[in-house]
Amino acid sequence: MIRTTVTIEGKTYGLSQGTDVDDLKESATRATQAGGGLIDFVVVGNRQVSVLISSGVPVIFEEVQVPDDDRDTGDLQEPWDDIDYLD
């Protein structure tokens, strides 16, 4: 499957399956255009992340091929931790 990662200020986050990447890109763009703001997203492990971004903060979206993982549902009520593919 294809996993989208987002790297913000050098920190890489693997987005959970089902993340609307286009919506996240729009949120990041709006926050930057507004002079800064928080963007929220769910990462692999079903954890919620909020990041403050502003102009001058690099935000990079990348797609990588990873094995399917049934645990990666985006359900915040079922967190888990196993993100070796980012190493």
Q: Is 32 helix (H, G, I), strand (E, B) or coil?
A: helix
pLDDT in tens, 34-52: 999 999 999 988 899 999 9
Token pair of 67 as six digits: 């094995």
Pairwise pLDDT comparison (1 vs 49), residue with the higher score: 49
- Alpha-carbon Rg for the chain, nearest whole angstrom, is 13
CA 78 to chain centre: 17
Report pLDDT for 74.
Answer: 65
Which residue ranges make up each domain of the chain?
2-86
